[in-house]
Each structure stands twice: as C-alpha cells, then as structure tokens.
Structure 1
Amino acid sequence: MTELPLFRSRVVPVVSINAAEEAVPLAEALLEGGIDVIEITLRRPGGLPGIAELSRRALPICVGAGTLLDGDDVRRAADAGATFGLSPGCTPALAEAALRAHLPFVPGVMTPSEVMAARALGFKLLKLFPAAQAGGIAMLRAMAGPLQDVRFIPTGGVRADTLAEWLREPNCERVGGTWIAPADLIARGDWAGIARLAREAGAIARTT
C-alpha cells in the first residue's frame, strides 16, 4: 500500500502554491534542475488546481498531493490526477480512503507507536513529520533497530546543510523539504533560482 510511482530523485520538494498558473513553471524548473518529483500541499488555493494542471500537461514529473487530512482530501487529490499522496499523520479512515481511491499513500508518523499503528495497516514507507522536532536523525537511528522493515521520508526541518546526513541513514528512503522551492522564490517567479537549488540538492543526493 506504499508502493510509489517510479521517480529517480531522493529529494522531494514540498511546495504550497497560491495559483494553478505557478504549477507548470515550477515543475519545469525542478525538472531543469534534475528533480522529477514534487509534493504539492493542499494548504493553499492553488494546490488542487495546480495538481490538475500538471496532470493535464503530462509533464515527466511525479506529482504527489500533500497535507491529506481526511477522505475528502484523498478523493479530491485522486480526482485531480495526483500520482501519490502524503499526510502529516494517519487514521484508519484516511488509510481506507487511500486504498479505495487506489492512491499510493505515505502516512505521517512521529513516534514508535504511530509507526507500529501505520505498519499494522500495511504501510512500511512513512513520512517522519515533523522530522527535526520528532528527534531528528537520532530518532531515525533509534527506530532502525526495532522497526527494521520500515523506511522513512523525513520531512520538516530538513535543510540543505543536513540533507547528506539524513540520506546516509539506511532507513531513509527519501527526504522532503521546502528549501528547494521556497515560497518567496515562487512568489517572485524566480524559476532559475529554484532550478539552481534543485541542482544543488540533486548533486548532494547523488553523491551520498
């Protein structure tokens, strides 16, 4: 239930957009920088329309819908064309909605008990969120012993200067971060700046 669509990047840019018109140039900037995945959260008005626009354009980028909080969010994300979904947490109802929608889903966890609960629902790829506040890399290492068949996408508080350290952990599948496409660069339409940050993050990931 956590099989993700195929994409190469081990870094997942997490973005919030105000208008659908921002989605395509943003995705093109990430692709120019060598990143073929994006998590568009549903926190702002442009989220769902932006996902739908990228689905319509069929750009070679894997589009995840973030901040899925309930079954309605899951259904709307799937209808918009998201190829996978992510949440800051997990409930049985949310997991069931993702299953019914045939949407690959990465639930969020913060504690070993939450990891075990998600694992019992069939999820073994989890979003550690908020990663820094949950204990950071030390928490990831602590979970590796008793929870050996679970892998994580740490998100929240991950920075460019800590990216390599996260990715070196054997149970770190990928890393999510907002620094690659920050809100101020999106607002200014600084797509070249975002492409540069994507290249830098990709270079770190490839050499780690």
Structure 2
Amino acid sequence: MIASKRQQQTEALLSSAGILPVVAVDTLDQARGVANALLEGGLPVVELTLRTPVAMEALATLKKELPGFAIGAGTVLTIDQIGQCVGAGADFLVTPGTPAHMAEALVAAPIPVVPGAASPTELLTLLNLGFHVCKLFPANAVGGLQMIKGLHGPVPQLKLCPTGGITEATAADYLAQPNVVCIGGSWMVPKQWITAGDWTSIRDTAARAAQIVKDVRAA
C-alpha cells in the first residue's frame, strides 16, 4: 500500500515527539508565541488545528520562520484542506475521523498522515489501507486506557496516538502502553494562556510534559 511507505516516517516523527501539543490560535502573534514557548519547553512537534480562520496562514508562517519546528495540520476535514495544508508546508496531517472518501485521499497524500478513528472497526479499516499509525479520538470518551489495552492483544502491530481528555496527570499512564507511540493533548496550551500571551506558563508546562516522556521511556 502507498500509505504504508510513509507510515514509517509518521511513526518515527510521533515517537520522537512523545507528546503532541494540540494548538488553536486566533492570530499570527499567538502562533509565534506558542511555537517559541513549546520549543523552549522541549516540545518540537505540534498539531496546529484548522479551527480558526488564521490557521492556514499561521502554518505557512511558522514553517518559514521556524523550519526546525515540525508542524502537523490538525482537524483536517476535507480533501481540499489536504492540498492546502501540503501547499502551506505542513509536515504531516491529522484527522479527527476518517470517512471513506477522506481515506482514499489520505492514502495518496505526499506527506505523513495520522488518520483518526474511534472504534476497532475503523482502526482495522485503516490498517487494511496501510495505516498502522492512527489517532484514537476522542480517546478518553471511547474507553481510554481500557480501549488501548484491549486493542494491543489482537492488533499488536497497530500504533496509536490517543488524543482527547488526556491530562498532565494521566499522560504517563498512556505513554507507558506498548502500543502508544505518542499522545496528543492541549493541557500545556490552554486557550486562556494563549489569549493572555502567557508564554512562560506554556513553556514551563511543556517542559514538564517533555520530562514525562523522558521519565516513561527511561523506566
């Protein structure tokens, strides 16, 4: 499968990140502030969601200004957005779910993809298309750790990036699972800190998140 050729890149990228901050910004200045704070805290990979009007411009701007910062375009919902994100310089794509028409387009995408799913059936469908690295979303709502542990036995080759409802307090438990390659979360980039420009709090929380990854992997 074409998709599987890029999945090794996807797995390597997410594994190197450990924790993927899920970010939404309303201005370019917010995008710059968040990106620099995350980098200073030790989180060099981010999912920038397409939930605001400025998101695509922010993606392109950050890729020009911070070429060493790996930026995934998140909340990709349409085929048109796939092309726009690639054109803006996205390093990878993340979807909250993967209907059939999107799956076909993601298979053909020229960059790494983290397709979203919420059930074993959806995950197996994606696996059959060559996607062995998938986003489990909304993770906490669909079973969280119990779901992840339950999937490992019958489908050990499936690697997951659970996102949705994970907190600083639960991050280590998720990361410790053998079939979790990375976790997504927004606890280090809450809306109120971004709006207030509280980059120090974001940097410090990002640093704690980066330390969680180190501690879990050293255990």
Q: Which whole-Å deviations, capped at 9, do the CAs of 1:42-98 have from their partners, x for residues lacking one?
A: 011121111011111133210000001120111111111110000011123223323
2:32 matched to 1:29? no
In the alignment, is residue 207 of structure 1 matched against residue 212 of structure 2? no
Alignment partner for residue 147 of structure 1, among 131, 155, 162?
155
Q: Tell me what 2:78 maps to.
A: 70
Q: Is the 8 A contact 2:97 2:117 kept in 1?
A: yes
Matched residue, 1:118: 126
Identity in percent: 37
Residue-by-residue CA offset, 1:77-127 (whole Å, 9 max, x unaligned) = 111111000001112322332343402111111111011111111100000
Q: 1:40 aligns with which of 34, 39, 48?
A: 48
Provide closer, same or farther for how the CA distance between residues 146 and 106 of structure 1 changes in structure 2, counting only shifts above 3 A: same
Q: Distance in 2 between matches of 1:10 and 1:99?
A: 24
- Tell me, which stretches of 5 or more residues in structure 1 are unaligned? none
Q: CA separation of 1:184/1:158 partners in 2, compared to 1, >3 Å: closer, same or farther?
A: same
Determine which of 8, 14, 20 is the counterpart of 2:22. Answer: 14
CA shift, 1:22, in A, is: 1.6
The answer to which of 101-110 and 122-131 deviates more is 101-110
Listed one character per residue, the Cα deviations across residues 128-160 of structure 1 (whole Å, up to 9, x for unaligned) are 000000101000000001111100000000000
Measured in 2, the distance between the counterparts of 1:92 and 1:55 equals 30
- For 2:13 and 2:187, locate their aligned partners in 1 and report how far apart those are by CA, in whole Å: 23
Q: Is the 8 A contact 1:85 1:105 kept in 2?
A: yes
In 1, distance between residues paired with 2:185 and 2:66? 24
Asked if the contact 1:24–1:54 (Cα under 8 Å) also holds between the matched residues in 2, the reply is yes
**Conservation of the 8 A alpha-carbon contact between 2:63 and 2:69:** no
Write out aligned runs for 1:1-208 (5 A): 1=3, 2=7, 3-4=9-10, 6=13, 8-208=16-216
Distance in 1 of aligned mates of 2:80 and 2:29: 24
Distance 2:67 2:42 in 1: 13
CA distance in structure 2 between the aligned counterparts of 1:157 and 1:6, rounded to whole angstroms: 22
Quick one: which amino acid aligns to residue 114 of structure 1?
A: E
Contact persistence 2:107–2:129 (CA under 8 A): no
TM-score by length of 1: 0.96
